[in-house]
């Protein structure tokens, strides 16, 4: 089965995670893909294939005789799709020999256009896989799943010598729980890669430090005709709070290593208001300063409107994996060499987000992130190329070869 055939079969399975759930996995339908992957791995000849009660899939591709002492390398992808947009009843469109023009996404009224996505011009002549405009595609991260499964079959049926290779597929990455119950010790890898990035040849080992902030504002609600010096309008305090944060430090206004404050949602009445923010920065000191600013804003508003008016809850989400990858830069060096060997230009860029690999790195499994060949994840404009997925499969195989040659 080709990587494209695998990909198209996987995206047909509804695996959207649920950000309102506190179960593991957050949605039971993720077991549908997990069970299929286990069956396929067993059929290929993988060993120690297991699906645990929390929907994590693990399998081993034994080392070739004489290569048992080579590093054990793992490859990891997540099975769930983002709850941001529908992942049910995905109906991909396949455009062969893409001409660089606009693409109507089914009858949805949406159009995939180079005006919105200039990189489309670089995909001319390739086979493009898009949505029909009513769902996301699921390339994040079923492309990674398909690429790892293709690698597994290639190693199990081919004759290339290699060390032990481990594969794993996780649930709930899109709701921040993908690494929560990952069995690092049982997985058995010395080092690993998540295959969960964008353009083929991409590799990432620097991600945001991340935190979530919730502001709860308690107002004082009295008759507006007699509210002088008494009323505290929680909704208005909320808007005042938002205005106290730097307007130029939002996702729309930042790029590269620049951090931000992102207001994800808010609600409010005179009586009570709530604001939810995510805070991001690559630099740990700058990250701490951002959190300190939120505390200062809270204190300032409480001085103005009275103690207890504003309550701030801060929760760290994940840290920049750079410090954990720095002692293991062979991971990036070998991935770079692998891309060059198969004729793909490697690109190393910081992630303006996070991956399971960031948390796994702090759990004792150094784990940078690799591209999949996909673009515009989490929405109806998501797309990927057949050629990009095939190239990433070649890169994964060359990484295995690099470690076998070490």
**Positions marked catalytic:** 80, 173
**Distance, CA of 49 to CA of 149 (rounded, Å):** 13
**Distance, CA of 374 to CA of 138 (rounded, Å):** 10
**Distance, CA of 373 to CA of 386 (rounded, Å):** 8
**Distance, CA of 68 to CA of 64 (rounded, Å):** 7
Two tokens, residue 45: 């000849």
Q: Residue 370 pairs with which residues in a beta bridge?
A: 195, 203
């Amino acid at each position: 089965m080709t990587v494209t055939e695998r990909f198209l079969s996987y995206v047909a399975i509804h695996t959207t995670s649920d950000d309102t759930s506190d179960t593991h996995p957050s949605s039971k339908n993720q077991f549908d893909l997990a069970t299929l992957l286990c069956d396929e791995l067993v059929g290929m000849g993988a060993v120690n294939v297991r699906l645990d009660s929390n929907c994590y899939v693990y399998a081993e591709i034994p080392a070739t005789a004489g290569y048992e002492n080579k590093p054990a390398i793992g490859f990891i992808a997540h099975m769930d799709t983002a709850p941001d947009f529908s992942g049910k009843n995905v109906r991909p469109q396949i455009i062969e020999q893409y001409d660089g023009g606009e693409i109507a996404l089914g009858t949805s009224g949406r159009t995939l256009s180079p005006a919105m996505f200039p990189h489309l011009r670089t995909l001319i002549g390739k086979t493009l896989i898009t949505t029909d405009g009513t769902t996301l595609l699921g390339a994040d991260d079923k492309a990674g799943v398909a690429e790892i499964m293709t690698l597994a079959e290639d190693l199990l049926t081919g004759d290339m010598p290699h060390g032990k290779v481990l594969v794993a597929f996780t649930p709930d990455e899109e709701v921040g729980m993908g690494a929560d119950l990952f069995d690092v010790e049982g997985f058995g890898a010395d080092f690993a890669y998540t295959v969960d990035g964008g353009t083929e040849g991409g590799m990432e080992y620097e991600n945001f430090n991340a935190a979530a902030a919730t502001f709860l504002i308690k107002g004082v609600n009295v008759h507006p005709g007699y509210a002088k010096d008494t009323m505290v309008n929680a909704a208005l305090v909320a808007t005042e709070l938002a205005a106290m944060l730097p307007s130029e430090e939002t996702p729309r206004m930042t790029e590269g290593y620049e951090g931000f404050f992102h207001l994800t949602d808010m609600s409010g009445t005179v009586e009570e208001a709530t604001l939810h923010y995510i805070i991001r920065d690559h630099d740990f000191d700058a990250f701490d300063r951002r959190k300190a600013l939120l505390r200062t804003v809270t204190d300032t508003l409480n001085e103005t409107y009275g103690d207890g008016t504003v309550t701030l809850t801060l929760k760290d989400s994940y840290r920049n994996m750079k410090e954990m990858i720095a002692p293991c830069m062979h991971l990036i060096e070998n991935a770079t060499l692998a891309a060059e060997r198969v004729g793909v230009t490697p690109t190393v860029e910081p992630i303006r987000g996070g991956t399971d690999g960031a948390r796994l790195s702090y759990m004792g499994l150094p784990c940078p992130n690799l591209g999949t060949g996909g673009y515009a994840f989490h929405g109806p404009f998501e797309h990927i190329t057949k050629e990009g997925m095939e190239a990433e499969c070649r890169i994964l195989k060359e990484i295995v070869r690099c470690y076998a040659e070490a």
